[in-house]
Structure 1
Amino acid sequence: MITIIQRVTQAKVTVNSIDIGTINTGIMALLAVEKNDSQQQVDRLLERILNYRIFADENDKMNLSLRDIQGGLLIVPQFTLAANTEKGNRPSFASAASPELGRELFAYVQQRATSIYPDTQFGQFGADMQVALINNGPVTFTLRCINS
C-alpha cells in the first residue's frame, strides 16, 4: 500500500462538477492498493497518517500530528501510484491490485477511517475526479505499508 500525504490548508475532490469531499487545514492522502495488500496494511497506514508529525508546534518544528491539531483528512484513491516507472516510457501496473481488491480495500479504508477519525472525507473509487489543494509548505511525504 502506497500513499502520498500532503499537508494542506484546504483540499477538495470533485466528481461530475459536485464537490464530494472538502477539508480545510489537514492532510490530503492519495492512496494506491497493491495486489498483496490486506486490511492489516490499511490499519497500519491509517495509524501512520493520523500520527505522522508534519504540523508545526509553537517552536515551528514538525512535532504535531493530524490528531494533535484536529485537522481534516481527505483520502483519494489513486491506483497510478502503484505503477512501476523504472523502465521505458510507459508505466506498468503489474503490482497494482485488481479493481475488485482495490474497491474492497478502499471500502475498508472508508469504514475504518470514519470509525477512528470522524473528520475524514473521501474521493470516489473508479471515478474521474478533479482534485484541488493548497499544499502548505509545501510538505509532502510518501508512506508505504508492506506485508510483514
Structure 2
Amino acid sequence: MSDDWDTVTKIGSKVSGGASQRETVVRGKAALNAAQRSGNIIGTEKKFATGNPASKSGVEGQRLTKVDRSDDIVPVQKVNPEIGAAIRDRRSKDPYKMTQAELAKKVNAQANDIKTLESGQAIKNQALLNKVARVLKISPKTGKALDEEPAKGSSSKK
C-alpha cells in the first residue's frame, strides 16, 4: 500500500534522474491513458508562463522603440489653430453665446482645457474636441458650422 505513495507520474514537468526512483513525464494522450491503465497515481501541474505581460511584445513597445531609434524630435500633435478660432467665434455668437466656463461645464471638462483648445496650444484630445463640436454644432475636423444654410447657387433637386 505504501508502495503506491512512492510512485508518482508527473505530467508536463522535467525531472533529472538521481539515486532515487525517477519520476516519469508523460507526453501525449496515449501515454497518459497507459499510465492510468497501469494504476499509477497521476499528478498534473499547470505552468503559467503565458500570463506575464512583460514577456509579450505589444504595439506600444514597438512604437516606443521606433521613437527611441529615430534621431528626430517627435512633436506632440496639437489642435489646429483654425479649429480653435472656429470654436471661439462660434461660442461668442448669439445662439450659442456662452463663456468658456459654461462650455466646459456642458462638455464636462475644465475651463482651462477650453482656453487652451481655443488658443490652439492644446494637445489633441479627440474626445474633448468631439464633445465641444457637438455642443457648438461644428465639424471637429474643419471647424465649419454644420447648421448653416447652404450657399447660394447650390440648389437641391427634388
TM-score, reference length from structure 1: 0.21
TM-score, reference length from structure 2: 0.20
Query: Which of the two has higher C-alpha Rg?
Result: 2
More helix by share: 2
More strand by share: 1
